[in-house]
Structure 1
Amino acid sequence: MNAAPTRQQTIAFGASGFPAQLLTQTFSAFVVYFYVAQLAVPAAWVAGAMIAHGILNAVLNPIVGTLSDRIRTPWGRRVPWIGVGIVPLVVAFALVWMPPELPAAGLIVWFLLVVAVYDVAFVVVVLNISALFPEIFRTTDERARGNTPRQIFAILGMVLGTAGAPVLYSTIGWAAMAVVLSAVCLVLFVWSLLGGMIERPAPAEEPKAMPWRDQLRYTFRNRAFVPYVIGSLFVQTAIAVILAAIPFYVRYSLNSAEGNSSLLLGAIFVTAIPSIVLWSTVVRHTSPRTAVLWSVAVFGVAVLGYLAPSTVLGAVLVGVGVGVGVGGLLQLLEVMLGQIIDDDAMRTGHRREGAYFGVNGFVVRGSVVLQALVAAAVLTSSGFDATLADAQPEGVDSGIRIMLAVIPLAFSALAWICFWLYPIRSRDV
């Protein structure tokens, strides 16, 4: 492909966002519940396995990304990885929910082995899809338009992964749920691969592959990438803290049924879909830096609203404002990273999308750790005690509101400072 992608190619490429988020959200939301509550595996064992999963996933990102940049085939750099990885990915995902009848020790071994295959295949497929994005869409205008359907598909995948999975496993069982979701993901991945993942021709004379040491040196010395990746970590942590705090907020601050958590989450995600189009227009008329600064500011101010509501309806209205900021962050961060990759290519002569997306994935995984530390610190210091059910100490309500509003605002402020230091002020490199 030498020209700008067509609308059909753009939509097909964007369809990959749906299965990627569907797999991610279903796994993260329900796998611990499935193995602990349904299969009676000790919670400590599952926690250890999840830590191993997180470490493996983080380490794989820069390794796979760098290899993807270096390896050349007649079919391109990225597409072969994606084509080879799709089937193992969806099969491994299905097998996570279909363990054989084994004692607890055998089940945890099954979990570790299957999830290791899932992690490798997930990073191989999703990282290379991400690395294709700044190559297929070459300017800020193209990237803003091209990322819009991708993020809309991604939000729909999030919704199905968090809201649709319980409906399926409660009606047709866990194994059947796994088969249905895996089949949906396979169809959408194949459509996206065949219809939208087209690599641009390689230069007639490519430069010699960059040594591994130089890969790391140029990446971490990049004056644009360092504030970007730290800002991204803070943004992802803020969002992760909000998602973790909402169930506590609904039950212990709003004194409402746990099921109403879906209303608060739905307000965020439903609002994020049209706001993606809004932020796409903003970045096409300003620059990635300016648009990101505005979106972080909107997000940070909006989350502070969670301090006030005493009803579910009030919290839902706050979630509408939060969703506007979330839509901007989903839309703009990859546009900004594409700009960093363009700038790096001008400086080094190498297109290193894989390395940058890989290192970004490695660093941003730290948001899971930060979110867990925040939740543990706030709940412990506020006196939360699960054995007391709804009869919690008075400080729990205040602590949860701080966790949902003030702490995400603090992370947003840190992110805003990082993005303010981002040195590329123009719309295109």
Structure 2
Amino acid sequence: MKKWRYASGQLDLTLVSESFGTYLAFFYLEKLGLSAAFYALARTVYAFWDAINDPLFGHLSDRTKTRLGRRRPWLLVGVPLFLLFYLLVFWVPDWARSPQVLPYYFAVGIVLYETMATVVWTNYGALFPEMFRGLSERAGAAALKRGTELFGLILGIALTPLVYAQVGFLGMALLYGGLGGLLVLLFLKSIREDPKAQEAEPLPFIPAFRYTLGNQAFWIYSLAALFLLFAVGLFGAAMPFYAKYALGLGPEATSLLFASVLLSALPSVLLWARLAGALGPKGAWLLAIFLLALGALLLFLPRTLLEALPVGLLIGVGFGGVLVLGDVLLAEVIDRDAEVTGRRREGVYYSVYGFINRLSGPLQALSFALLTPLFGYVSGEVPGPRPEAAFRFLMAGPPFLATLLALALAFRFPYGAKGRMPGAGSS
């Protein structure tokens, strides 16, 4: 039951986060006419604030001591605000839709939303290494967690074009925010933290981050994960454009493309949990990254929906492996740090990891910005002379390069070889 309770939180947060991350660009660029250049600028500027708030919230979470635990108080406060700001991003009143106001409304909205996303995801992720110990238990919990996440992706991404086509983006936000809020609160009521994790005196701010930022294995893993998240995120953000311009299809076909990825990823998580034992977490991770890279390269080719669907299936299998094995390998990095410092510091690690991951947002935005000088695409109102080539490039080129970089880094990761991963019982 502990695994199921924890995994239910992943479903709730995924439903909201992925609908935001996937359709934010489409809503503001195509529907409201925000320029791709300003979209890129706003996401990049936010990254500087993220550099401050991520480590701050992670450190404060590690230092929190209450009868409810270290993470639950932050989640109880952060989740309602997270859902409120999600709603406000998609609720754009008439006065905010003018070209003079819309860029500022967009910028403020994403700063508020992403700040609360930092609080929520950092504290949720920090529960994983504390609650689950050992390769077998972690692989099983990660498979279940990622399986529910993929179900959330099916709801939050693959079905969303059908949802907003019927009720609009505001209706979508109300529906997903309400459902996600209900399920997250149920998850929070059932989770109990280990009181022993609060016993050791937390490290001061500077030593805590000195140990974290000096951890070479953590940097190798985090940079590889950044490139993978960028690739997968760009698949999602570019998919509606790819379907429209490269394949000449509508929202229903977009849903089918997303479904081909997610429905193949969902059953694959069980396979990857087994491969973690058979190949070692690192060996299975390398295989998953290779499949993603191959899928990205093949996306240059399809001209019809039937040609694109098999590529989506391949990407989905690789995506499932990246999700499951990433949880296991990051938890191992944190365990080995606890052996050195004598303290479990999941909050700091997940906050720094979360900040590095959120750099994928500006990277995706900069990829969109490249479309103007390379292909003449400005917005849905000014698509330029070659929108098909623009979004075929966006869907395949940057993701393929990113997965190759991730593969090179993954080869250098020092832990997770078959038969050499310890039981992760440190505390």
* Deviation, structure 1 residue 343: 0.5
In the other structure, the counterpart of 1:211 is 204
In the other structure, the counterpart of 2:131 is 136
* Deviation, structure 1 residue 411: 2.0
Q: How does 1:116-155 map to 2 (within 5 A)?
A: 116-155=111-150
* Deviation, structure 1 residue 122: 2.4
Between stretches 183-192 and 99-108, larger displacement belongs to 99-108
**Structure 1 position 330 matched with structure 2 position 351:** no
**Structure 1 position 67 matched with structure 2 position 67:** no
Task: Write the deviation string for residues 325-359 of structure 1: whole angstroms up to 9, x where unpaired.
Answer: 01101111121100000000001111111111111
Task: Write the deviation string for residues 303-338 of structure 1: whole angstroms up to 9, x where unpaired.
Answer: 322233332211111111111101101111121100
Question: In structure 1, what residue type is equivalent to 2:270?
Answer: V
In the other structure, the counterpart of 2:8 is 15
Q: Does 1 or 2 have the higher relative contact order (CA < 8 Å, sep 6+)?
A: 2
1: distance between equivalents of 2:242 and 2:198? 58
Aligned with residue 154 of structure 2, among 156, 159, 176: 159
Structure 1 unaligned segments of length 5 or more: list them: 1-7
Question: In structure 2, what residue type is equivalent to 1:316?
Answer: L
In the other structure, the counterpart of 1:413 is 404
Kindly indicate whether the alpha-carbon contact (under 8 Å) linking 2:62 and 2:347 is maintained by their aligned counterparts in 1.
yes
Between the aligned residues of both structures, percent identity stands at 31
The number of equivalent residue pairs is 417
Between stretches 97-106 and 282-291, larger displacement belongs to 97-106
Task: Write the deviation string for residues 371-393 of structure 1: whole angstroms up to 9, x where unpaired.
Answer: 33344446633566877869639
2: distance between equivalents of 1:97 and 1:66? 31
Structure 2 unaligned segments of length 5 or more: list them: none
What is the Cα-based RMSD across aligned positions, in Å? 3.2
2: distance between equivalents of 1:172 and 1:281? 41
* Deviation, structure 1 residue 144: 1.1
1:202 is paired with a residue of what secondary structure?
helix
2: distance between equivalents of 1:39 and 1:230? 34
In the other structure, the counterpart of 1:315 is 308
Task: Write the deviation string for residues 238-270 of structure 1: whole angstroms up to 9, x where unpaired.
Answer: 223333444444444444456523322221111
Kindly indicate whether the alpha-carbon contact (under 8 Å) linking 1:15 and 1:149 is maintained by their aligned counterparts in 2.
no
1:224 is paired with a residue of what secondary structure?
helix
Task: Write the deviation string for residues 409-428 of structure 1: whole angstroms up to 9, x where unpaired.
Answer: 33222211211111123223
Kindly indicate whether the alpha-carbon contact (under 8 Å) linking 1:385 and 1:392 is maintained by their aligned counterparts in 2.
no
2: distance between equivalents of 1:101 and 1:275? 45
Aligned with residue 77 of structure 1, among 56, 70, 82: 70
Aligned with residue 183 of structure 1, among 178, 191, 200: 178
2: distance between equivalents of 1:82 and 1:136? 16
Kindly indicate whether the alpha-carbon contact (under 8 Å) linking 1:58 and 1:361 is maintained by their aligned counterparts in 2.
no
Aligned with residue 341 of structure 2, among 342, 348, 352: 348
Kindly indicate whether the alpha-carbon contact (under 8 Å) linking 1:252 and 1:390 is maintained by their aligned counterparts in 2.
no
* Deviation, structure 1 residue 47: 6.1
Task: Write the deviation string for residues 68-122 of structure 1: whole angstroms up to 9, x where unpaired.
Answer: 1122222211122112222222233334444666455677666655554433332
Question: In structure 2, what residue type is equivalent to 1:142?
Answer: E
Task: Write the deviation string for residues 196-255 of structure 1: whole angstroms up to 9, x where unpaired.
Answer: x2211216952x321222122211221211111111112122223333444444444444
Kindly indicate whether the alpha-carbon contact (under 8 Å) linking 1:241 and 1:375 is maintained by their aligned counterparts in 2.
no
2:298 is paired with a residue of what secondary structure?
helix
Kindly indicate whether the alpha-carbon contact (under 8 Å) linking 2:273 and 2:324 is maintained by their aligned counterparts in 1.
yes
* Deviation, structure 1 residue 176: 4.3
Q: TM-score, normalised by structure 1?
A: 0.85
Kindly indicate whether the alpha-carbon contact (under 8 Å) linking 2:228 and 2:403 is maintained by their aligned counterparts in 1.
yes
Between stretches 254-263 and 271-280, larger displacement belongs to 254-263
